[in-house]
Structure 1
Amino acid sequence: MANVLPSDLRGDFVLRRASVSGCLLPPDFRAVAQGDLAIVDIEVVSGAIRALRPSDAVEVAGDAVFDMDYGMVLPTLVDMHTHLDKGHIWQRNANPDGTFGGALAAVAEDRLAHWNAEDVRTRMEFGLRCAYAQGTSVVRTHIDSLPPQETISWPVFEEVRAEWSGRVELQGACLFGIDRLIDEPGFLDVIADRVKQAGGVLGAVTYMVPGLDGLLDRIFEAAMSRGLDLDFHVDETNDPAAKSLRHIAEAALRAKFDGKIVCGHCCSLAQQDMEEADRTLDLVASAGIGVVSLPMCNMYLQDRSPGRTPRWRGVTLLHEMKARGIPVAVASDNTRDPFYAYGDLDLIEVYAQATRILHLDHPVGDWISAVSTAPAGMLGVPAPSISDGAAANLILFRGRNWSELLSRPSAPRDVIRDGFTLNDRVPDYRELDHLMTGNGAVL
């Protein structure tokens, strides 16, 4: 029996003494536990999990039996909020001051100058290669959809989605500021039809604009008439007067909307007094809205002012939401662009940082669901699992517990897809050098 992490699995094998979070196992499965982790044997045949056994069962011998020595195993993960079309433009158009306003201006300038089909496709595929190599199997990307960009980026998205089918399940949600519907009301039908044609999700950035309720009603109506789900960017500010999350929940209840609704960011909620926040959370729970927090990007952007130390972490009330039964998740958001200068679409890094920023520990409990089963439910895709009959889509680590894993999130891992070791590695940034003409950022 091998005593090292396997590096060349070929469809049929047994992983002996693997540590797996109980929330990722079948609810009736019982195994020897170390803390909140179950110790299991995972038998894979023809690329699927044939049997899951407690490691105190009869030991199995053979050349294809590998002793994990309590190393952790996760299923592949779900990144439900990304921006593949913006990714990796930092070197040619950096954020001049790290602020939200600086990010908006830099992206607008870069979009106008560079975002043709080749540029968008190259950067989207680079991002997907990063995510895939690190163990992500589902990605939702928001797509900047201001005219004329929607005529460029949506066809590219459809082509890339088809090319990546079977490796990463790719979803797309449109992105535009809701205030555009004030001066250009006809735009909503145009973009909603485009999203419907592409099999996407309708979305917008919401903030406190005149006539917000009426604009939201129109978006819900457009989604319902086309059978579309909704995904909003919401209240990404530290201004406690920003309360569009509450307005979205009220609009959903007025419309009796029965599709899926996701709200991302919701930062201002944490700046409101708890009585006000409680009223909003009650509405969000009643409306069946799921919330995704983007801890790395929002800690980077929120409360930033030159020469002043930030006073808060920029994240929303995830613990309070989860306690109410509201589905919650964390995700990558932006990657090496003016909204976030860093990141690699690595959900292990995201989860490690979320644990620190949002205090997803003491106890760890089932918080790993925030990058696995919970976002899968919000996106309407099968939940990743380690169970009999499931495809052997796994991530294998040497770390034996949460402390070891989250202390070294960049440590070597093996990604297994359909029972075979994935040999793909994250791409070299030099592959993008031919696109990097711009303001010369070197961060």
Structure 2
Amino acid sequence: MFDLIIRDANLPDGRKGMDIAVSGGLIAAVEKNIEAPAGEEIMATNRLVSPPFIDPHFHMDATLSLGLPRMNVSGTLLEGIALWGELRPIVTKEELVERALRYCDLAVSQGLLFIRSHVDTSDPRLVTAEALLEVKERVKPYIDLQLVAFPQDGYYRATDGVASLNRALDMGVDIVGGIPHFERTMDEGRLSVEALCRIAADRGLPVDMHCDETDDPHSRHIETLAAETVRFGLQGRVAGSHLTSMHSMDNYYVSKLIPLMAEARINVIPNPLINIMLQGRHDTYPKRRGMTRVRELMDAGLNVSFGHDCVMDPWYSMGSGDMLEVGHMAIHVAQMAGVEDKKKIFEALTVNSAKTLGLEGYGLDKGSKADLVILQAADPLEALRLKPVRLAVIKGGKVIAHTAPRITTISIDGRPQAIDIGLDYIPRA
């Protein structure tokens, strides 16, 4: 007898009418017509069942702080950094914990059960690290939260930036971050990349670096990051986030850069919502949108995953915790509207992000952890188009959130009285 069986499910790989059996918190079988009893059964009825969504790049210490202490009037990256610099010295641990927990509630409702958050270490008080380490433990039963020691004001540029980052790592923050393009000079940026990769190698930790989040085509710290990754033997353990300068780089230089990144097995994390909102601010027309070269990086075999980055904070006044919204925007700005393109975008929100985070037991194979999301859509393409209701969110084989399907009732003679937008509007041959 199984603990749970989800029946008649469509899977992201195209299989349809599959049953998923769960026992002891693990997937015990994925087959058609499983003839066995179960403590609970859920009818998916030809809807998509996916592993949970993953956000590999977020700032949970700043989330839901929109308007504190004031609004970002210009909407620029630099004013957002300055605004956060005003809030950070007066923020309390209690406030940080409360906001982060509220965001985690939202994340669960969206089927987002794995998050990597950057933790600003520029304030020597390190209340941000204290707060998010507490949150990490409190949400552990339902969200896997990874934390990055992130020197927002610069590893060398910030007062006590070096000491504060090392203290955060000593406290238990488990990933080394950086922001080389925000150091005072290009050379100090290069030196910070070298120093931070050395720390990661010495401590046996991964690296996740804000890298070249700028329109400047001469900001080339990703080149240094790839080289230092190889030098310190960190291949596959390093992520370069944003990489927006690649949008503006010379094509010949990029033809050298991408193979170097592939050699280092860099994980690439664009953030479509934020990148196109904040980049190109000094342009008139034509106006650059600033997202990195997603298609070219994928074609070169690099692991590309997408981050939400911000939700209602000094940098971004929008956001919903919905990774499908992120993928929806990526389709548009990367101009990846083909069927296979969309499948790759969906994978960037799920399996690619799992690789970035180094997750074990993630997926829909027998023996994987029974972490699942049932969506009111038939397949990944429909999910990306509709950003549908998460009908059920399952962690370790137990339903931890559920939402009623979105059904519209209409009163028009001769037309259907109820419309399930996730199933009734799929084009059929």
- TM-score strictly above 0.5: yes
| Residue in 2 that maps onto 1:369 | 347
Deviation at 1:117, TM superposition (A): 0.8
Alignment-derived partner of residue 209 in structure 1: 186
Q: Is the 2:59–2:119 Cα contact (8 Å) retained in structure 1? A: yes
Q: Equivalent residues in 2 for 1:218-257 (5 A)?
A: 218-257=195-234
User: Cα distance 1:412–1:284, how it changes in 2: closer, same or farther (>3 A)?
Assistant: closer
Contact 1:71-1:400 at 8 Å conserved across structures: yes
Measure how far apart 1:381 and its partner are.
1.8
**Which of residues 236, 240, 245 in structure 2 aligns to 1:263?**
240
| 1:324 counterpart residue number | 300
What residue is the counterpart of 1:405 in the other structure? 383
Superposed CA RMSD in Å reads: 2.7
Q: Distance in 2 between matches of 1:259 and 1:45?
A: 32
SS in 1 for 2:55: strand
Equivalent residue pairs, number: 397
Q: What is the Cα deviation at residue 332 of structure 1?
A: 0.9
For 1:197 and 1:265, the matched residues in 2 are separated by 27
The alpha carbon displacement at 1:94 in A equals: 1.7
Question: Shift of residue 302 of structure 1?
Answer: 1.2
- The yes-or-no answer on 1:122 pairing with 2:98 is yes
Corresponding residue for residue 170 of structure 1: 145
1:193 is displaced (CA, Å) by 4.1
- In the other structure, the counterpart of 2:413 is none
2: CA distance, partners of 1:272 / 1:105: 27
| Structure 2 counterpart SS, 1:389 | coil
Find the aligned partners of 1:213 and 1:375 in 2 and give their Cα distance: 27
Return 211-220 or 338-347, whichever deviates more: 211-220
Change (3 A) 1:295 1:377: same
Please list the CA deviations of residues 297-330 of structure 1 after superposition, one character each: whole Å capped at 9, or x if unmatched.
1111111359x57723321112211222211100
CA distance in 2, matches of 1:62, 1:144: 46
Pairwise CA distance, 1:77 = 2.0
Give the TM-score normalised by the residue count of structure 1: 0.82
Give 3-state SS (helix, strand or coil) of 2:363's partner.
coil
* Alpha-carbon offset, residue 61 of structure 1: 9.1
Choose from 128, 131, 144 the match for 1:153: 128
Q: Deviation of residue 257 (structure 1)?
A: 3.5
Q: Deviations over 1:18-44 (max 9, x none)?
A: 11112xxxxxxxxxxxxx454422223
Please state if 1:86 is matched with 2:62: yes
Query: Cα 1:158–1:412, aligned 2, differ >3 Å: closer, same or farther?
Result: closer
Determine if the alignment matches structure 1 residue 347 to structure 2 residue 315.
no
Q: Looking at both structures, which has the greater relative contact order when contacts are Cα pairs under 8 Å and sequence separation is at least 6?
A: 1
Paired position in structure 2 for 1:29 = none
Unaligned runs of 5+ in 1: 1-10, 23-35, 426-443
The gaps in structure 2 that reach 5 residues or longer are 404-429
Query: The residue matched to 2:133 in structure 1 has which SS?
Result: helix
Structure 1 position 190, deviation (Å): 4.5
Q: Is this contact kept in 2: 1:290–1:328, CA < 8 A?
A: yes
- SS of aligned partner of 1:70: strand
**Corresponding residue number in structure 2 for 1:4:** none
Tell me the residue number matched to 2:356: 378
| Alpha carbons 1:79, 1:332 under 8 Å: kept | yes
Partner SS state of residue 210, structure 1: helix
Q: Structure 2: which amino acid aligns with 1:387?
A: D
Shift of 1:228: 2.1
Distance 1:182 1:94 in 2: 25
Contact 1:21 1:37 in 2 (8 A): yes
SS in 2 for 1:354: helix
